[in-house]
Chain A
Amino acid sequence: MSGAAWLVPVLPAASALVIMALGRKMPGGGAEIGILSLVVSFLLAVGVAIEVFGANVGATTAGEGTAFVHTAAFQLAPIGEGAAIDAGIRVDGLTAMMFLLVTFVSLMVHIYSLGYMHGEERFTWYYAVLSLFTAAMLLLSIADNLMLLLIGWELVGVCSFLLIGFWWESKHNSDAAIKAFLTTKSGDVGLMVGVVALFGQFRTFNIADIFAMVDEGVQAGGAPLSEGLLSFALIALILGVVGKSAQFPLHTWLPDAMAGPTPVSALIHAATMVTAGVFLVARLYPLYSATPAAQATLAVIGAITLLAAGLLALVQEDIKKVLAYSTVSQLGYMVAALGFSYTAGIFHLFTHGFFKALLFLGAGSIIHAAHSNNMRDMGGLAKVMPRTFGTFLVGTLALMAVPPLAGFWSKDEILVEAAAAGGYTGSLVLVLGAIGGLITVFYMTRLLYLVFAGEFRGHGHPHESPPSMTVPLLALAVPSALIGLANLPVAAFQPYAFSAWTMHSLEYWQTHPIEFNLPVAAVAVALAAAGFVAGRALYRSQPLDADDPMRKLGPATRVLEERYFLDHLWTDLITRYIVRDTAGPVAVAVNDRFIDRIVYWVGAGTGRFGQRLYDIFDQKGIDGALHAVATGTWWTTARVRLAQSGNVQLYAGAMLAGVVVLAVVFAAG
């Protein structure tokens, strides 16, 4: 099947083109093409997964052999010195896992959108971009060289821009799209630097070649490997990961990305886009595992992110924003896990993909019924939307890491690995990860009670969503509940488990066994229980907004509501949007009490200093100099601007004259 693996990304890409060209003429507006192509892609992905699984299990049970890799390539463009950019595929366990996750979640989103986007004006365009988005993510997963991976990476960025700004008639939405694009793009600068640095070191973009060279401890030309240069490149790559996977402090784009349609949020947050960064690290894991500095960076960034984002989720009122910050937090877990263990990181990616897609699609169903994003307008929905409630509950429990649902096994594995790694970074991730688990349970309990318990507080009569929306929910609930068992930490099962399926080398699999640590698991479960009890106590009876205990924390609430003021930093620094509505009292207070005073002192000091200067220097001297500067500027610009006369003939004449002069110079020289 891996021979046909290239079809997996090609089919959605082709369907995107077909939908764009013919979609409007189709009875289903093009949706049927997208769904059909994804069904085929999904079946192919299953085939690839089975093949990889069979090969890898053969290796792990026998204890010898290599991890499955299928590659094929043709040259796209030569770039000199024997190097070339290839269009090559690399199918291994990681690719198979991403294929399965992306095609399945995307298929569910495609089906779900039939109901959710029904009657939308740009329905066809939506499906075209959705298919292209999926294709870009699949291309990223299958690329065998960094250039192709980068192409997929940027395509993902463009598609996310188009989808987040899907309802671009509202300025708020298009701002969010631009913000997402620019924020991830600023991280991509680091990515570009990293890719070029890797190329400079190894003179190839091919991932397998780079692995082979690192294995032998050499770089281009057979020189011994420079660890410092490699660390630099890998840490530069992490910058790209921080942008794309919404790590602290570049996570600010992700909650705003909620401006897009909810199924898009599910796709962005579960299967595509944000997982791209985590995937990149996993793809290059043989390099990262050889570079302690880069691993430590990952662990610290992830640990900070998982806690910071979890705290932010506490004060959100928009149901999608709660889930958005929860995604950032879970991505923090993944990145932190990659600081210690390959399997732990991607296993959490895998399980999280399913249950977060479920949660977002469930939230979409709720929003569809309540006609509002705000949890103040919800409540009592458990009775009217039994199927949504049931599936949402499964997803929530999985996110809360309740055994034996999916999230428990993957999150537990992260904590176990962190505990086993020890040291500063290990302890940091262990402690923050455990606290993060408690916070996760707390905010999800809050969400459950606000949305489903009590009486309905919104307008109208909510009703269950159509089958096109509930069937994907049911389909996603199954893996959300059970997929964690795929990597059961039992020694006898491990040769047949997720870790064997996705291993990048047999040696790594043998030296990094997946283990179960009862004390860690017990503490995690106890903390989760504590979080649930606290959440239940606070929100069981009085879920109304004014009494929300999360809003009575004084300054802490403010800090969280202002999202640590990062938005002000980034927006003023990078995108220059002045978010007036969110400039809260704390900002004003800080402004009045500190900045104003500093400005006043500076101003007063300058005034005194100026008085001195006035006394010392002749007033005319300074005045004269200023006037000279002003007049000089005026005079110069008045001449310089003549060059920009807008007269094309003047431009053409200048160009031809320049050509003549150059020809004479070259002929004479």
Chain B
Amino acid sequence: MTVPDVMMLFVTVLGGTAALLVVTSRNVVHSALYLVVALLAVAGAFLTLGAEFVAWAQVLVYVGAVVVLLLFGLMLTRAPIGPMAQGNELGRALPLAVSIALFAVLVTLIFQSFSGTTISLTHVSPAALGEVLYVAFALPFMALGLLLTLALIGAVVIARREEGEGPLPEPDEEPSDAAALREPTPSDVSTVPGRPAPSGEREVSA
């Protein structure tokens, strides 16, 4: 057991526990906070593997930005902050069976294919990574920038409230009582409130 091995074991236990809490916690805000811990553990794994810049990017992007975004999402949708009923239509048995089978298959395959393979933990400096990123991968990098811009615009377009649209609706008091919402009324389905149906819309009976 070398020092990196111990560190990897540590982040595995930490990250695994936190991830389990994310998906099982009854309180959604707690879930988001456990997600921070899990993602920090992932960053720790990156550091152990020598990927310094990736680790800090993980901390900045995920822990810093994504989790905040998710928290905003939770608050804007006024999800019940307190404990909530768990489980959905699938129940718990099917997801559990699928994910355990998935884990078993993955671990089996990993040990079949990679046992005995060792990796060298050479530290990669951000400078070296930057040189590769901006020279060899310059074009994909720019394409990525474009993608992010488009995603930003797309997100704004999707989430923007049209003029004249009322305030956010009140959440249903009984989240578990979803049956009333199951059958959408026609007006629910056909129109987005405040957005007139495009005048060019027409039946195409082709």
Assess whether B189 is interfacial by the CB under 8 Å rule. Answer: no
Find chain A residues with CB under 8 A from B98 CB. Answer: 653, 656-657, 660
CA distance A659 to B99 in the complex (A): 11
CA distance A168 to B199 in the complex (A): 9
CA distance A168 to B90 in the complex (A): 46
Question: Across the two chains, which residue of chain B brings its CB closest to A658?
Answer: B98
Partner of B90, one of A178, A649, A663: A649
Q: Which of B17-25, B43-51, B105-113 contacts A (4 or more CB under 8 A)?
A: B105-113
Find chain A residues with CB under 8 A from B112 CB. Answer: 667
When each residue 94-120 of chain B gets 1 if its CB lies under 8 Å from chain A and 0 otherwise, what string results? 110011011001001100100000000
CA distance A650 to B205 in the complex (A): 32
CA distance A73 to B125 in the complex (A): 43
Near A by CB (< 8 A), chain B positions 184-206 give 199-200, 202, 204-206
- Chain B nearest CB from A636 CB (Å) reads 23
Question: Across the two chains, which residue of chain A brings its CB closest to B204?
Answer: A178
CA distance A206 to B204 in the complex (A): 39
Assess whether A577 is interfacial by the CB under 8 Å rule. Answer: yes
CA distance A503 to B90 in the complex (A): 72
Find chain B residues with CB under 8 A from A174 CB. Answer: 200, 202
When each residue 73-99 of chain B gets 1 if its CB lies under 8 Å from chain A and 0 otherwise, what string results? 000000000000000111000110011
CA distance A650 to B90 in the complex (A): 7
Question: Across the two chains, which residue of chain B brings its CB closest to A165?
Answer: B200
CA distance A192 to B105 in the complex (A): 45
When each residue 629-669 of chain A gets 1 if its CB lies under 8 Å from chain B and 0 otherwise, what string results? 00000000000000000010110010011011001100100
CA distance A664 to B107 in the complex (A): 12
- Chain B nearest CB from A204 CB (Å) reads 30
Assess whether A620 is interfacial by the CB under 8 Å rule. Answer: no
Find chain A residues with CB under 8 A from B102 CB. Answer: 656, 659-660
B199, A647: Cβ atoms closer than 8 Å: no
B90, A667: Cβ atoms closer than 8 Å: no
A663, B199: Cβ atoms closer than 8 Å: no
Find chain B residues with CB under 8 A from A171 CB. Answer: 202
A178, B206: Cβ atoms closer than 8 Å: yes
A577, B109: Cβ atoms closer than 8 Å: no
- Chain A nearest CB from B144 CB (Å) reads 23
Question: Across the two chains, which residue of chain A brings its CB closest to B89?
Answer: A647
Question: Across the two chains, which residue of chain A brings its CB closest to B113?
Answer: A667
Question: Across the two chains, which residue of chain A brings its CB closest to B94?
Answer: A653
Find chain B residues with CB under 8 A from A534 CB. Answer: none
Question: Across the two chains, which residue of chain A brings its CB closest to B102?
Answer: A660
Find chain B residues with CB under 8 A from A615 CB. Answer: none
Partner of B200, one of A169, A576, A650, A660: A169
A667, B108: Cβ atoms closer than 8 Å: yes
Find chain A residues with CB under 8 A from B90 CB. Answer: 647, 649-650, 653
Using known A-B contacts A649-B90, A653-B90, A653-B94, determine if residue A660 contacts B202 with beta carbons closer than 8 Å: no
B202, A182: Cβ atoms closer than 8 Å: no
B199, A649: Cβ atoms closer than 8 Å: no
CA distance A63 to B172 in the complex (A): 90
Using known A-B contacts A169-B200, A650-B89, determine if residue A182 contacts B206 with beta carbons closer than 8 Å: yes
- Chain A nearest CB from B93 CB (Å) reads 11
- Chain A nearest CB from B85 CB (Å) reads 16
B202, A663: Cβ atoms closer than 8 Å: no
Question: Across the two chains, which residue of chain B brings its CB closest to A650?
Answer: B90
* Interface range for A: 20 to 34
Using known A-B contacts A647-B89, A653-B90, determine if residue A575 contacts B206 with beta carbons closer than 8 Å: yes
- Chain A nearest CB from B24 CB (Å) reads 16
CA distance A656 to B99 in the complex (A): 8
CA distance A657 to B98 in the complex (A): 6
CA distance A657 to B101 in the complex (A): 8
Find chain B residues with CB under 8 A from A656 CB. Answer: 98-99, 102
Question: Across the two chains, which residue of chain A brings its CB closest to B100?
Answer: A660
CA distance A663 to B102 in the complex (A): 9
Question: Across the two chains, which residue of chain B brings its CB closest to A170?
Answer: B202
Question: Across the two chains, which residue of chain B brings its CB closest to A659?
Answer: B102
Using known A-B contacts A576-B206, A656-B102, determine if residue A663 contacts B95 with beta carbons closer than 8 Å: no
Find chain A residues with CB under 8 A from B206 CB. Answer: 178, 182, 575-576
CA distance A168 to B198 in the complex (A): 12
CA distance A174 to B199 in the complex (A): 12
Find chain A residues with CB under 8 A from B101 CB. Answer: 657, 660
CA distance A58 to B26 in the complex (A): 88
- Chain A nearest CB from B22 CB (Å) reads 17
Question: Across the two chains, which residue of chain A brings its CB closest to B109?
Answer: A667
- Chain B nearest CB from A646 CB (Å) reads 10
Question: Across the two chains, which residue of chain A brings its CB closest to B205?
Answer: A576
Find chain B residues with CB under 8 A from A575 CB. Answer: 206
Find chain B residues with CB under 8 A from A182 CB. Answer: 206
CA distance A182 to B89 in the complex (A): 44
Question: Across the two chains, which residue of chain A brings its CB closest to B200?
Answer: A168
Find chain A residues with CB under 8 A from B199 CB. Answer: 169
Question: Across the two chains, which residue of chain B brings its CB closest to A662?
Answer: B105
- Chain A nearest CB from B199 CB (Å) reads 6
CA distance A657 to B88 in the complex (A): 18
Using known A-B contacts A577-B205, A653-B98, determine if residue A660 contacts B89 with beta carbons closer than 8 Å: no
Near B by CB (< 8 A), chain A positions 136-171 give 168-169, 171
- Chain A nearest CB from B198 CB (Å) reads 10
Using known A-B contacts A169-B200, A653-B95, determine if residue A660 contacts B205 with beta carbons closer than 8 Å: no
CA distance A182 to B88 in the complex (A): 45
Find chain A residues with CB under 8 A from B94 CB. Answer: 653
Which of A174, A182, A577, A663 counts the most B-chain CB atoms under 10 A from its CB? A663
**3 closest A-B pairs by CB:** A660-B101, A663-B105, A657-B98
Interface contacts beyond A171-B202, A178-B206, A647-B90: sample of 11 additional A-B pairs, CB < 8 Å, sorted by A: A169-B199, A174-B202, A576-B206, A647-B89, A650-B89, A657-B98, A664-B105, A667-B105, A667-B108, A667-B109, A667-B112
- 23 interchain pairs, CB-CB under 8 A: A169-B199, A171-B202, A178-B206, A182-B206, A576-B205, A577-B205, A649-B88, A649-B89, A649-B90, A649-B95, A650-B90, A653-B90, A653-B94, A653-B98, A656-B99, A657-B98, A660-B101, A663-B109, A664-B105, A667-B105, A667-B108, A667-B109, A667-B112
